[in-house]
């Protein structure tokens, strides 16, 4: 089915570019999603087994783009790489299983990093996750190890020293549990995480080397069944001014962690359950429910800006009140015109504040039309995945002026479109980087791609 829709996609683009059958596909709503198209440059990191990556990116103070290429096999670990925009050089930095000290254990590999890098005192901090799953009841579960192999040991907090090229392992917050969500207070040197599949909130203090588990936060998390199931939040919001941390639940509650009191409690008087976001059954696994998808701190207003997955609405969260204000729909123009939810069932993770500290960047989907009809996929899915093929669009939003702009659909030079995009990093020169599926010589891998600064003519 994927090969079939892929052929339709390429033929669709060629039809527009070559002027064939102009009535079959609307140029306004079709392959380009408007009059503008963006060309993505592809790179080859030399890792054929690289699979879909969620977050796993960052820009270092050295100007390099750091990223993790994830894997699915039980015996192949995710690989951390760097790209130097000045020299165009890609460097394979390290194997995540080896960085965790598990290379000779014959244990299920550290197949993912599900978080973005955070820099602190010359080091990039991040965490690890499993990529070896079993699909049970249409949900991703921790897979049992093959004969002769040990089970997945658990996610680690790690740091990479950009000057020495060495990794530092801070250990596992919760043995046997991956770290699904992670962020860092790089003013106070405190790491935070949500584990998978049971959603424990964990902390690690770099100075004191103390690890703490504050317990489960979402019933039985993604290990639950029926009424005990809850999708886990993918974005921890850190307030650098007071060290507070915020995250959500599928029911719409907002949790607040007080750095001063080291206490976790529910925010009173505000939540994420907004009519504009839609109606959700939090016990169903095919969406994020009322969780926010991604959140970033905006220092000029001392507020968080975030996007709700699935509906694609941009909101602002003022923790001092507390208050959530729904601002604009951040999805692509073709999505807005068609009234559709984005096809990726959880929504998109490619959302960040740019280097100018005022522009939000968002990589999201747009519908495809063939013979005047929108190409659709599954109506429902029980796991986080693309329900159908979409065009990838780059959206920017200037916060001070509230200026939204859809820069157009993104394609490769050969007419293919980037697929399964759930990460973003904006270079110091405004170039946009992400990780996407690339098919070359009949083989598909996930790898680095770049889109030139959309504001540079």
Q: What is the pLDDT of residue 388?
A: 78
- With a cut of 80, say whether residue 224 has pLDDT above it: yes
Position 5 confidence tier, pLDDT thresholds 50, 70, 90: very low
Burial 375-396 (b: 16+ CB within 10 A, else e): beeeeebbebbbbbbbbbbbbb
How many percent of the chain have pLDDT more than 90?
A: 82
Q: What is the pLDDT of residue 342?
A: 80
Whether the CB-CB separation of 130 and 77 falls below 8 Å is answered with no
Whether the CB-CB separation of 256 and 264 falls below 8 Å is answered with yes
> In 10 A of CB 113, how many CB atoms?
29
Reported in sequence order, the residue ranges of 340-431 that DSSP labels E, i.e. its strands, are 351-353, 359-366, 369-370, 373-374, 391-398, 403-411, 425-426
257-272 pLDDT, tens digit per residue, is: 999 999 999 999 999 9
- Provide the Cα torsion 415, 421, 427, 429; round to 10°: 40
Give the mean pLDDT of 375-401: 84
What does the alpha-carbon distance between residue 237 and residue 185 come to, in Å, rounded to a whole number?
Answer: 10
Give the mean pLDDT of 299-303: 98
Whether the CB-CB separation of 435 and 447 falls below 8 Å is answered with yes
205-222 pLDDT, tens digit per residue, is: 999 999 999 999 999 999
Q: What is the pLDDT of residue 33?
A: 39
Position 139 confidence tier, pLDDT thresholds 50, 70, 90: confident
Q: What is the pLDDT of residue 24?
A: 28
Whole-model pTM: value is 0.91
Give the mean pLDDT of 311-335: 97
Give the mean pLDDT of 416-425: 96
Asked which of 67-76, 303-312, 365-374 is least confident by mean pLDDT, the reply is 365-374
- With a cut of 50, say whether residue 399 has pLDDT above it: yes
What does the alpha-carbon distance between residue 341 and residue 92 come to, in Å, rounded to a whole number?
Answer: 37
Whether the CB-CB separation of 106 and 145 falls below 8 Å is answered with no
102-121 pLDDT, tens digit per residue, is: 999 999 999 999 999 999 99
Asked which of 190-199, 365-374, 378-387, 442-451 is least confident by mean pLDDT, the reply is 378-387
Cα three-residue angle 174-180-182, rounded to 5 degrees? 90
Position 35 confidence tier, pLDDT thresholds 50, 70, 90: low
* Alpha-carbon distances of 165 from 63, 87, 90, 161, rounded to whole Å: 15, 18, 14, 5
User: Encoding tokens for residue 406?
Assistant: 């859809």
Going by C-alpha positions, the residue among 432, 456, 291 that lies closest to residue 448 is 432
What does the alpha-carbon distance between residue 20 and residue 207 come to, in Å, rounded to a whole number?
Answer: 64
Residue corresponding to tokens 């994420």: 272
Give the mean pLDDT of 363-389: 81
What does the alpha-carbon distance between residue 352 and residue 337 come to, in Å, rounded to a whole number?
Answer: 24
Residues found in the chain: 457
> In 10 A of CB 160, how many CB atoms?
24
User: Encoding tokens for residue 141?
Assistant: 């579960």
Looking at the DSSP assignment, which residues form a beta bridge with residue 169? 158
């Amino acid at each position: 089915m994927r090969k079939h829709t892929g052929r339709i996609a390429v033929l669709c683009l060629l039809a527009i570019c070559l002027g064939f059958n102009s009535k079959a596909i609307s140029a306004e709503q079709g392959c380009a999603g408007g009059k503008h198209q963006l060309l993505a440059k592809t790179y080859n990191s030399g890792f054929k087994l690289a699979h879909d990556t969620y977050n796993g990116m960052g820009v270092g103070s050295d100007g390099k783009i750091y990223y993790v290429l994830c894997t699915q096999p039980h015996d192949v670990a995710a690989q951390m790489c760097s790209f130097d925009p000045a020299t165009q050089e890609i460097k394979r930095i390290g194997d995540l299983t080896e960085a965790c000290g598990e290379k000779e254990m014959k244990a299920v590999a550290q197949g993912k990093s599900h978080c973005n890098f955070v820099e602190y005192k010359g080091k990039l901090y991040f965490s690890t996750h499993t990529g070896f799953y079993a699909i049970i009841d249409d949900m991703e579960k921790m897979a049992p190890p093959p004969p002769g192999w040990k089970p997945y040991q658990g996610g680690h907090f790690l740091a990479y020293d950009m000057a020495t090229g060495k990794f530092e392992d801070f250990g596992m917050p919760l043995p046997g549990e991956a770290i699904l969500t992670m962020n860092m207070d790089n003013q106070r040197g405190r790491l935070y995480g949500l584990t998978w599949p049971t959603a424990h909130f964990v902390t690690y203090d770099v100075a004191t080397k103390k690890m703490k588990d504050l317990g489960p936060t979402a019933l039985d998390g993604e290990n639950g069944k029926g009424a005990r199931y809850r999708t886990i939040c993918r974005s921890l919001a850190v307030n650098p001014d007071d060290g507070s941390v915020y995250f959500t639940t599928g029911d719409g509650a907002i949790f607040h962690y007080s750095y001063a009191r080291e206490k976790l409690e529910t925010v009173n008087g505000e939540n994420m359950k907004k009519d504009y976001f839609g109606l959700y059954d939090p016990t169903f696994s095919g969406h994020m429910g009322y969780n926010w998808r991604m959140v970033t701190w905006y220092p000029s207003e001392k507020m968080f800006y975030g996007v709700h997955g699935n509906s694609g609405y941009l909101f602002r969260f003022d923790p001092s009140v507390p208050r959530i204000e729904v601002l604009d729909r951040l999805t692509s123009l073709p999505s807005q015109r068609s009234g559709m939810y984005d096809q990726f069932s959880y929504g998109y993770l490619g959302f960040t504040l740019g280097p100018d500290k005022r522009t939000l960047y968002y990589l999201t989907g747009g519908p495809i039309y063939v013979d005047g009809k929108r190409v659709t996929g599954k109506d429902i899915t029980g796991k986080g995945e693309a329900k159908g093929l979409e065009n990838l669009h780059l959206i920017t939003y200037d916060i001070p002026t509230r200026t939204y702009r859809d820069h157009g659909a993104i394609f490769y030079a050969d007419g293919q479109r980037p697929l399964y995009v759930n990460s973003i990093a904006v270079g110091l020169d405004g170039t946009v980087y992400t990780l996407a599926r690339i098919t070359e010589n009949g083989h598909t891998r996930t790898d680095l791609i770049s889109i030139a600064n959309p504001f540079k003519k």
